[in-house]
Structures are given as structure tokens and as C-alpha cells.
Amino acid sequence: MKTAEIAQRYLDYFRKNDHVIVPSASLVTDDPALLFTVAGMVPFIPYLSGDVPAPYKRAADNQKCIRTLDIEEVGKTPRHGTFFQMLGNWSFGDYFKEGAIRFAWGLLTSPEEEGGLAFDPADLWVTVYEEDDEAHDLWLRLTDLPEERIQRLGKDTNYWSTGLPGPAGPCSEIFFDRGPAYGVDGGPATDDDRYVEIWNLVFMQYEITNVRSKYDFDIVGELPAKNIDTGMGLERVAFIKQGVDNMYETDQVRPVLDKAVELSGRTYGAVHEDDVRFRVVADHVRSSLMLLADGVTPSNDGRGYILRRLMRRAIRSMRLLGVDGPTFAELFAASRDAMKDAYPEVETDWARISQYALAEEATFLRTLASGSAILDDSLAASKAAGRSSVAGSEAFLLHDTYGFPIDLTLEIAEEAGLTVDRAAFDTLMAEQRDRAKADARSRKKQLADTSVYRALRAQGETVFTGYSDLETESRVLGILVDGHPADRATVGQIAEVVLAETALYAESGGQVADKGVIVGPGYELEVLDVQRPVPGLTSHTVEVLSGEVGVGQPATSVVDAANRRAARQAHSATHLVHAALRDTLGKTATQAGSLNRAGYIRFDFSWSQALSEATRTEIEEIANNAVRDNLEVQTRVLPLDEAKALGAMALFGEKYGDSVRMVDIGGPWSRELCAGTHVSRSSEVGLINLIGESSVGASNRRVEALVGLEAFRSLAAERALVSQLSSTLKTPREQLPARIAELTANLKAAEKRIAALEAKSLGERAPALQAAARRFGAVTVVAESLGTASSADDVRTLALQVRDRLGSDAAVVVLGAEVGGRPVVIAATNDAARATGAKAGALVKIAAGVVGGGGGGRDDVAQGGGTDAAALPAALTAVTEALSA
């Protein structure tokens, strides 16, 4: 049974049982405490927590998920994958334990011809929470499971909570017994791979508080409306139904594994270590494909870092399988073909996806080349120092700074006959993970608890009137002071105020929040920020300027009209620039992020190379032509499917409901889904002035522009500057570039002549320096400070000249100089001096330590520097003392 068929049977079964079928949310979640959708329940959190009323009583879905917590287990067990699909059915205050158990057992054990999955009940085991007698008795009554195949387990496995105050409850898990060939008898309690968990039924029935850990908390009481949250692992069911040993051999994953086998020339099933690597490649390529399809791009932080890590682990695994060259073109194509029936976007958006994948692979292959060179130097230094291992700190630097995998470091070190101080490396990695976990816990505590908004959201959605009105009369629904509900807020306090209706725009879609005030009888509030803490609810952060505001009072929201006008100009300009980019660069130049505020826009887009000056000018001209053409701006609210059919751009990572707002500028020329505020005709934008273009990652670029009056002011300032230059240089403005180029060339020529004269003058000091040589034992030493010099190269040249003048007897030359305000030290030794143990690199390190810096180099010549030029005499003295010791 194909994976897609299993998913369809699941959805069809629950559709017949009165469940609304909900499409999968993006892998990119809008929960600020999470990077990704890590579980099937994430999109339903607002409904399960009660923060937002559920729009349906029953639902079912097939949710895409990414989880990297167990990334090191990928390939080693039959069930661990980073990308997975979670089939779920949900009840919001409707059916509870009995209904969930009936539905699960019915689907699992019904014959295939009746739409079921046809599991043999004799192969199924069930676990329940040890204190949940109700669930235990229901399993006995509703199914033909014998008592011995229903096991009671503790909170660590059979109790669900988020680790935060809120809903929680016991759960019941369904396991498939793979048989004695896969492990020991005894059921799921043995925690053996023989028993594969395929479905988890969470009975969300309690409210918890005083959470001390995920399994240590106080139960306040039962929830007023009990919920059901279930999850059936699609990949786990697939590998069982397809009769293969693990999820990596299922129909959606195996093609990538087979392609890796073909490219490597090795055999799957022959060597355990190779098998793990093949599975890692198969899993990580599929996960990367799905993340790219949902708009994540490789970077050094956040979601992009996780994607980059997955891609680089796949490249590393292919290298360990003996393939040093690029493979992503073929591996990603194999994954695309395996996934396109279930997720057509991986094919329709293939040009953009493959562009990112191939660019990241090329970048990392270059990283591996440069990292190998750095490691080679480290190995050579370890051998020269007589060490048998590479320091853990050096391995960590390669890993953390250069992205060089530790496994590859270990492999190369072993080939060189050395080890790596793995304990020190692991300590540094653990410290880094602890810092990351502490940061994640901090963010979760700060951002995840939205329960304070629950009662406010229960009163209904905040109505936004600002598309048509700049003032709206309403009433105060609620007030929060210091994060807690309050009856009122007084002068000088900062508070959150929730209104039934508001004209003030809440930050979203790249558009910053409106400025303005809220006024009522006897009070005035300055609006500092406007946000949507939970879907459908708008909260105004305010400072009470005068009077006292209380819950239930009348309130009028008043938008700063000038700021809103400029914000509308900026948001419409963002759409114009996006359309101009796609017109110029092609359809793969899609939006990757934006910010627009009064007078300014910042727009990130997928592109892997810098834009030429001519291209930037063309984009700017196309956008301003659209302004000149006075195009009509229309907004329509229509079903999502209809908007997409009309070609509307839907931005990656954005959440859309069944109905969406579509913004057209010039009809289909610019057509995007957008909830922001806009001008009514393009001419109102005024002027768009591109002021910058830069890189924001290997495959993303950023353009910045000023809009409207700010654009005019910038151009006026440039005009004044050009006028001033023209007057100062007594040159017509059209001849300024040639005149400035001429002056620059003259300046460079003069600087070159001065440098040559200074170098000649410095070189003439060689005889005097030779005469200043002193004897320290068997070695002749010149250790002198030169004062200032034009460059370190001049000092190096002089040091070598003096060394050569000293002949073949043991000689050491150490010269110091101030170059550009900073101290530089050059050491040079001849063969005879090195035979006595005098090495330039070691001497430079001594001197550099005195001047507050570092340095090194070869035994014959080395360079160092620091920050304290006044310490140069002391540094030279330290060198002579070391030579005389």
C-alpha cells in the first residue's frame, strides 16, 4: 500500500465520520517559541488551549512536520526521520476517549475493501497511563484486545503536556508487533524496536499549573471542554504495510537511497556503517526538499541553519561513501519525483528549489576544501610539536566557524596517524548546546504563554476597520498591566488594551504597526505598538497620557493619518518592486521577507548573485514606470483556491484561511495575497529610489529603497552634494566622474612614489643595522626598532637583507616598527641559527605577546603584531633574553 494511499484512506475514513478535512499547515510555524511545525498538534494549539474558539467540532489532517531533536538517531533506527507526516483526528469539546478509541480501532482493523488498513488485531498492543482506569476499561470493552496486551505505563511515556501551564492529559498509544525476529517478547514496556508505536491518542482533560518539569506539575481541575488530539505516524504505518524494515525503504524515501547507492557504487545491506549513511542521505535530502518547498533557505541562524545542517550532513555522508563531487542535482530530482504526487509544489517550484540546493552544495564543497587546508596545517603543527592528537578546540573551531564536520576531521586525522581530543570537543559542543537550550527555554517562557488572552478572544474577533476608516468608535474589552488582567490603567502606566473594533493596523505581512492614539471620556492613550498575540485578537500597547481608562469604557482609535499615508505608499511600493524584480530576473526571484514602514522598504528575494548596476537601474525604472502609469489598485476578498487559480502570489510561511484578501496593481501585473494597507492608485506612491543591494545568504539578496517624500529628500541631498563637488573641483557635473577618476589616479601614483622613497630610505639602514649586531652565545643577533614604516612588507624585506649581510654564521634578525599606528614584528633566521634551536615563529610569538597580540609563521621567517606600539622596545628585549637563556 503506497504512502499516499494510506493518507487518503485515513482522510476518507474521518470525512465519512463527520470530520472537516484540514489541509496541512506550512512547516514554518508562526508560533514564536518554535522554529518549525514539530508535531501534528502545532497548528491546532490555539484551539486546544482555548485561546481561540475552534471553527469546527471535529477535524482530521495530514500534517507535514520537521523534528531534529533526535537527528543523531537518523539512519540507526527504523523509525527516526527529520521530515515526517502526522495523520491526526481532533475533537474540540465533542467526542472523547470512547470516540477516539472506536475511530482508531475501526480504521486500523477494518478490511481494505471497506477502506480500512487491515491490521491483524493479534499484532497490536496498547499502552495507557497507569492511573487511567477509564481508558483501560474502554479498550477491553470496545475491542477484542486481551488484558495482557494492554500495558499501564508512567508519566514519562503516557502523559502529555506542553511543559507550560495549560491543558494536559493522559494518552494511550497503539503499537505494532514486528515479531520475534526483531527483538524480545514483552510488549511496548520493553522499549524494544520490535514494537513500533503507530498511533497516539491524547486525552486532553486537565488544566495544570505550577509546572516544575514536563512531568511534575499541579492539576487545577478538569477542562470545561475536553479535547482529543491524536497522531498516527504515516511513515511508520507505510513501512509496516509495505513489508520493509524501516521508513527509509518506503516508496517516498527509497528512490533517494537507491540513487545514493548508484552514485557511490557501494551496496546497500552489505556494511552497517554505509547503510546508516545511505539512510541519512535519503532522509536529509527529502527533508531539505520539503523545507525549501515551504520557503526556508540555507543560512547561519534559525530555520536556515537547520536546513543548512541537514544539507551538509547529506553531503558529508556522500563523502564518507566515497563521493567527493556534487550529487544534489540527481539526489534532489529523485526525491522530487517520489514526493510530487503528494506535494505537487516540489515539481512546480523546482527551478527555485534546485537553485538553492545546488548553490548550497557548491558552497559547502568549497568549505570542505578550505577546511581541509586548515586541518592539514593543524595536523602538521601537531606532528611538529610531537603531539599525537589535534586539540579539541581546533576541531570545534573547524566545526563551529567553518562548518567542517567532526566526523570528517576524525577521518582525516586518523589517515594522518593522529587522533582528536574528542572529549574536549564534546565539552565545547555540550556548552554550546546548553547555551542554545537556555535561550530556547527563555524564548518559550517569554513568548509561548498566551493564556492571558483566552477570555478576551472568547468575546470574538477584533474587527479591523482601518481599510476604510482612520477613526473608529468602540469599547474597551480588556486591559493587561504587566501581563496580567486589570480593571483599569492610570497616568504613566504602560498597558495592553483590547478593543472590540480598531482602525489601527497590527504589525503583519512586513508592514509595521500604525501610530496613533486611543481616546475616550477623560483619557488619552498613546499607541506604542499594535500586535496580534493570538489569531483574531488585536492588542494595543499604550502609554496612558492623561486620565484613567477602564474595562467597558467607550474608546475611539485614531490613526496618525500622515504616517498611515506613507505606510500605504511603502507597502504598495513593495509590491511594485517585487513585480519589477520578477519581470527583470524571472519567476524564481520570489519574496523571502520584507519590511515596509513610512518612507522605507526592505525586500529580500531568492537570488544567488549580486545585481549589476544596469539591472538595478532597470528594476527601479520598471517600478517607477508603474507609478507613472497610475495603475488602479484593487483589493478583493475571495476563496483561497480561486485566488491561487488567478495567479496570486502566496508568500512562504504565511498562514492563509479559506478566504483571503488579494491585492491587484494594474490587474495581473502585480497580484499578491496581502492583508496590508495600500494606496488606491500607483501614482500615489510618488517615487521609488533604490538605495542599496546586498547579500543576506548564499541564495538570498536584499534591496532597500526609499519611497515618496523620503525618496525625494534623498535625491535632493545627492543633488546638493554633486553641486558642491562641481563647485569645489570647478568641473561641470557631467564631467565629474572623469575628473574624480583623474584625481584618484594621481593620488595613487603619488602614494606609490612616496612608498618607494620610504622603502629605499628604509633599505639604506641595512649597513647600520648590521653594525649594531650583538653576540649571544653562538648566535649573532640584530634586535632593533625602526620607528615607523609604510608597510610590513618593507620591514620583512629589510630583515631578510640584514640576515643575508650577516653571512653563514648563526644569525637572527628581529625588527619592530609601527605600521599604520599598530606594532609589527618580523623575525628572520638562517640555517645555522635554526640548527641551534632559534626559530622565527617562536621568537615572533614572544615579541607579539608583549605588544598585546599574536603571530607566527615558518621557522625561517615569521610575522606578528599587536595593539601597543609603545611596548616594541620591551618586546625586542624579551626576544634577546630568550636567545641568551
The band of 32, judged by pLDDT with boundaries at 50, 70 and 90, is low
Span 228-250, pLDDT tens digits: 999 999 999 999 999 998 899 99
The band of 811, judged by pLDDT with boundaries at 50, 70 and 90, is very high
pLDDT the model gives residue 656: 66
Question: Over 90: is that where the pLDDT of 383 sits?
Answer: no
Over residues 284-297, mean pLDDT: 93
Note whether 823 and 869 are within 8 A (CB). yes
Question: Over 60: is that where the pLDDT of 332 sits?
Answer: yes
The band of 29, judged by pLDDT with boundaries at 50, 70 and 90, is confident
The band of 747, judged by pLDDT with boundaries at 50, 70 and 90, is very high
Span 552-608, pLDDT tens digits: 999 999 999 999 999 999 999 999 999 999 999 988 888 888 999 999 999 998 887
d(CA 512, CA 615): 29
Question: Over 70: is that where the pLDDT of 277 sits?
Answer: yes
Question: Over 80: is that where the pLDDT of 275 sits?
Answer: yes
Of the candidate ranges 452-456, 483-487, 576-580, the one whose mean pLDDT is the lowest: 452-456
The band of 437, judged by pLDDT with boundaries at 50, 70 and 90, is low
The band of 447, judged by pLDDT with boundaries at 50, 70 and 90, is very low
* 451-551 belongs to CATH 3.40.50.1100: no
d(CA 413, CA 776): 40
CATH architecture of 3-248: 2-Layer Sandwich (3.30)
Per-residue cell: 187: 510488549
- Residue 62 backbone phi and psi in degrees, to 5: -125, 100
The owner of cell 494595543 is 540
Taken as a whole, the chain contains a residue count of 885
DSSP-assigned beta bridge partners for residue 87:
62, 232
pLDDT the model gives residue 439: 55
Taking the CA atoms of residue 76, residue 77, residue 78 and residue 79 in that order, the dihedral angle to the nearest 10 degrees is: -120
Question: Over 70: is that where the pLDDT of 440 sits?
Answer: no
Of the candidate ranges 137-151, 544-558, 853-867, the one whose mean pLDDT is the lowest: 853-867
- Residue 482 backbone phi and psi in degrees, to 5: 55, 35
pLDDT the model gives residue 417: 82
pLDDT the model gives residue 267: 94
Over residues 630-655, mean pLDDT: 83
Assigned fold of 564-714: Threonyl-tRNA Synthetase; Chain A, domain 2 (3.30.980)
Question: Over 80: is that where the pLDDT of 433 sits?
Answer: no
Tell me the Cα Rg of the chain. Answer: 34
d(CA 16, CA 465): 40
Note whether 296 and 307 are within 8 A (CB). yes
d(CA 664, CA 661): 10
Of the candidate ranges 209-218, 277-286, 663-672, 685-694, the one whose mean pLDDT is the lowest: 209-218
Question: Over 50: is that where the pLDDT of 402 sits?
Answer: yes
DSSP characters over 773-834: -EEETTEEEEEEEEEE-S-HHHHHHHHHHHHHHT-SS-EEEEEEEEETTEEEEEEEE-HHHH
Note whether 806 and 813 are within 8 A (CB). yes
Mean pLDDT of the chain: 89
pLDDT the model gives residue 390: 84
The gap from C-alpha 300 to its chain's centroid, in whole angstroms, comes to 7
pLDDT the model gives residue 695: 87
d(CA 362, CA 343): 27
Question: Is 564-714 in the same CATH topology as 3-248?
Answer: no
Please tell me the number of Cα atoms within 13 Å of 442 on its side-chain side. 6
Query: Would you list the domain boundaries of the chain?
Result: 3-248, 254-445, 451-551, 564-714, 765-884
Question: Over 90: is that where the pLDDT of 316 sits?
Answer: no
The band of 152, judged by pLDDT with boundaries at 50, 70 and 90, is very high
Measured between its terminal Cα atoms, the distance across the chain in Å is 81
DSSP characters over 2-59: -HHHHHHHHHHHHHHTTPEEEPPPPSS---TT-SS--STTGGGHHHHTTSS--S-SEE
For the chain, percent of residues with pLDDT exceeding 70: 96
d(CA 734, CA 740): 11
Note whether 634 and 469 are within 8 A (CB). no
- CB-neighbour burial class of residue 775 (10 A; exposed 0-12, middle 13-18, buried 19+): exposed
Assigned fold of 765-884: Diaminopimelate Epimerase; Chain A, domain 1 (3.10.310)
| Sequence letter at residue 743 | L
Per-residue cell: 398: 573547524
Question: Over 60: is that where the pLDDT of 652 sits?
Answer: no
Over residues 93-99, mean pLDDT: 95
Please tell me which residue, 447 or 193, carries the higher pLDDT value. 193
pLDDT the model gives residue 436: 60
pLDDT the model gives residue 73: 81
The band of 630, judged by pLDDT with boundaries at 50, 70 and 90, is very high
Over residues 373-388, mean pLDDT: 79
Which residues does the annotation place in the binding site?
A: 571, 575, 674, 678
Of the candidate ranges 33-47, 337-351, 482-496, 813-827, the one whose mean pLDDT is the lowest: 33-47
Eight-state DSSP code of residue 698: T
What's the pTM? Answer: 0.70
Please tell me which residue, 740 or 404, carries the higher pLDDT value. 740
- Residue 419 backbone phi and psi in degrees, to 5: -110, 175
Span 673-707, pLDDT tens digits: 999 999 999 999 999 999 999 988 667 889 999 99
pLDDT the model gives residue 443: 43
Eight-state DSSP code of residue 181: G
Please tell me which residue, 710 or 757, carries the higher pLDDT value. 710
Question: Over 60: is that where the pLDDT of 428 sits?
Answer: yes
Please tell me which residue, 381 or 526, carries the higher pLDDT value. 526
**644 Cβ contact partners less than 8 Å away, ≥ 6 residues apart:** 650
Of 570, 456, 581, residue with least CA distance to 53 = 456
- Residue 406 backbone phi and psi in degrees, to 5: -65, -35
pLDDT the model gives residue 448: 41
Which residues does the annotation place in the binding site for Zn(2+)?
A: 571, 575, 674, 678
Span 614-629, pLDDT tens digits: 999 999 999 999 999 9
For the chain, percent of residues with pLDDT exceeding 90: 58
